[in-house]
């Protein structure tokens, strides 16, 4: 199949390019220089020229603070951008895989969210991503809306100054010898290489719709940080903190764990446990110190 990947030099986009290529597909990567998803003409002319079988959209404005201060721009990219791609997919009769987020939920459920739970976002980022999901569902006949969580990968996270959470923790620990990390936000950190492989598996199936795709298990950011330092063998004091100690912070869900129910019910779930993925990631970036468990 011919796969067009948007956001191709981002964390997830670059791993999607690699995963589709490894699976034997023809891959056409597109960076922001080559397509602006917020611009309907740019999307329709580029997609018409390429005639993909599958359009994978990993592009987004997902810096939560930037979205809060520039809501119109966030909507233009995350909402209208998704609409433009959905229209292109409809017009070209191709499959659209659109990536979304756990931040569509408010966290009040306190147990893993399934695809049937109703979104109720707490911030501009989450709201604009919900709008994008609705456009995709309403317009693209064949689509996957793939929600994931806490992404980290080997390519720099472009929206966050190049540093994902793992790299940020390692940097701060080495510079300061101590870090302060919240205990009251529970997530499932997910390695983009795993998610990319899951997207390849999905693209070859016809169980369309909303799909939750995160690693297995859950942890607070504090627990995640401790696991990073343990596996990388970095000596550091990890102080527990509450999100209320960072008063300027944009509201985020306290609990945004997703259950991969759709994937599991169709026997498509290939996502590993978050600890196993963290180990693979640290090994890949040359930071793994601890030996593998026997
Ligand atoms: N990172 C997370 O923790 C997380 C968690 C849950 C869900 N997600 C979702 O996962 C997806 C991928 O995230 P990521 O971490 O891989 O992001 P990333 O590393 O920041 O990459 C995003 C890519 O999108 C491109 N882009 C931004 N605006 C664009 C536009 N208007 N038109 C075309 N391309 C544009 C960026 O290019 P430039 O940098 O050149 O603008 C970049 O290549 C996003 O949909 C995000 O909402 C992320």
Mutate to test the pocket of ligand 1, among 43, 59, 165, 281 (most ligand atoms within 8 A of CB): 59
Instruction: Enumerate the domain spans of the chain.
Output: 2-152+191-214+258-271
| 186: confidence class by pLDDT, cuts 50, 70, 90 | very high
Q: Is 149 in the pocket of ligand 1 (CB under 6 A)?
A: yes
Percent of the chain with pLDDT over 70: 98
Q: Is 189 in the pocket of ligand 1 (CB under 6 A)?
A: no
CB of 36 within 6 A of ligand 1: the answer is yes
- How far apart, in whole angstroms, are the C-alpha atoms of residue 117 and residue 202? 21
Query: Which atom from ligand 1 is nearest to the alpha carbon of 12?
Result: 16
* Residue 202 contacts residue 226 (beta carbons within 8 Å): no
Residue-level pLDDT at 25: 98
73: three-class secondary structure by DSSP: helix
CA 287, distance to chain mean position in Å, is 22
Residue 225 Cα to ligand 1 middle (Å): 23
Give the span between the Cα atoms of 140 and 12, in whole angstroms: 22
Of the pLDDT bands very low, low, confident and very high (cuts 50, 70, 90), residue 248 is low
The closest-lying atom of ligand 1 relative to the alpha carbon of residue 125 is: 47
| Confidence class for position 196, pLDDT limits 50, 70, 90 | very high
Q: How far is CA 218 from the centre of its chain?
A: 16
Q: Compute, in angstroms, the gap from residue 84 CA to the centroid of ligand 1.
A: 16
Cα(57)–Cα(85) distance, integer angstroms: 8
Is 281 annotated as catalytic?
no
Is the pLDDT confidence value at 291 over 70?
A: no
| pLDDT-wise least confident of 6-15, 95-104, 129-138, 245-254 | 245-254
Answer whether 114's CB lies under 8 Å from 261's CB.
yes
What does the pLDDT average to over 161-179? Answer: 93
pLDDT single digits (tens) 26-56 = 999 999 999 999 999 999 999 999 999 999 9
Distance 62 CA to ligand 1 centre (A): 6
133 lines ligand 1 (CB under 6 A): no
Q: Ligand 1 in contact with 58 (CB < 6 A)? A: yes
pLDDT for residue 292 is more than 80: no
Q: Does 271 score more than 70 pLDDT?
A: yes
pLDDT for 157 equals: 80
157 within ligand 1 shell (Cβ under 6 A): yes
pLDDT average, residue stretch 57-63? 96
Indicate the pTM of the whole model: 0.96
- Average confidence (pLDDT) over 64-81: 97
pLDDT of residue 293: 64
Catalytic residue among 125, 191, 208, 255: 125
Helix (H, G, I), strand (E, B) or coil at 209: strand
Q: Between 3.30.413.10, 3.20.20.150, 3.40.50.720, 3.60.140.10, what CATH number should domain 2-152+191-214+258-271 receive?
A: 3.40.50.720
Q: Report pLDDT for 161.
A: 79
Confidence of residue 290 (pLDDT cuts 50, 70, 90): low
Task: Calculate mean pLDDT across residues 156-167.
Answer: 85
What average pLDDT does the segment 260-269 reach? 97
Mean pLDDT score, 182-191: 96
């Amino acid at each position: 199949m011919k796969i067009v990947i948007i956001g191709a030099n981002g964390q997830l986009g670059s791993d999607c390019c690699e995963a589709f290529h490894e699976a034997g597909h023809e891959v056409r990567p597109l960076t922001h220089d080559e397509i602006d998803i917020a611009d309907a003409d740019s999307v329709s002319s580029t997609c018409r020229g390429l005639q993909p079988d599958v359009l994978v959209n990993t592009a987004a404005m997902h810096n939560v603070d930037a979205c809060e201060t520039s809501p119109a721009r966030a909507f233009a990219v995350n909402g209208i951008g998704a609409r433009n791609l959905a229209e292109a997919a409809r017009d070209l009769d191709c499959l659209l895989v659109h990536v979304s987020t756990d931040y569509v939920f408010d966290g009040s459920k306190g147990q893993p969210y399934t695809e049937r739970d109703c979104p109720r976002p707490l911030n501009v980022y989450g709201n604009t991503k919900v709008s994008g999901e609705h456009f995709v569902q309403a317009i693209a006949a064949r689509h996957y809306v793939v929600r994931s969580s806490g992404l980290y990968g080997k390519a720099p996270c472009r929206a966050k100054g190049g540093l994902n959470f793992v790299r940020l923790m390692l940097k701060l620990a080495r510079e300061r010898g101590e870090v302060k990390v919240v205990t009251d936000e529970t997530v499932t950190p997910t390695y983009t290489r795993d998610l990319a492989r899951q997207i390849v598996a999905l693209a070859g199936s016809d169980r369309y719709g909303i799909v939750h795709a995160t690693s297995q298990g859950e942890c607070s950011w504090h627990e995640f940080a401790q696991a990073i330092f343990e596996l990388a063998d970095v000596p550091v004091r990890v102080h527990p903190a509450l999100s209320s100690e960072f008063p300027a912070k944009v509201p985020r869900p306290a609990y945004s764990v997703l259950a991969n129910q759709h994937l599991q019910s169709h026997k498509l779930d290939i996502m590993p446990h978050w600890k196993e993925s963290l180990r693979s990631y640290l090994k890949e970036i040359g930071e793994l110190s601890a030996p593998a468990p026997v």
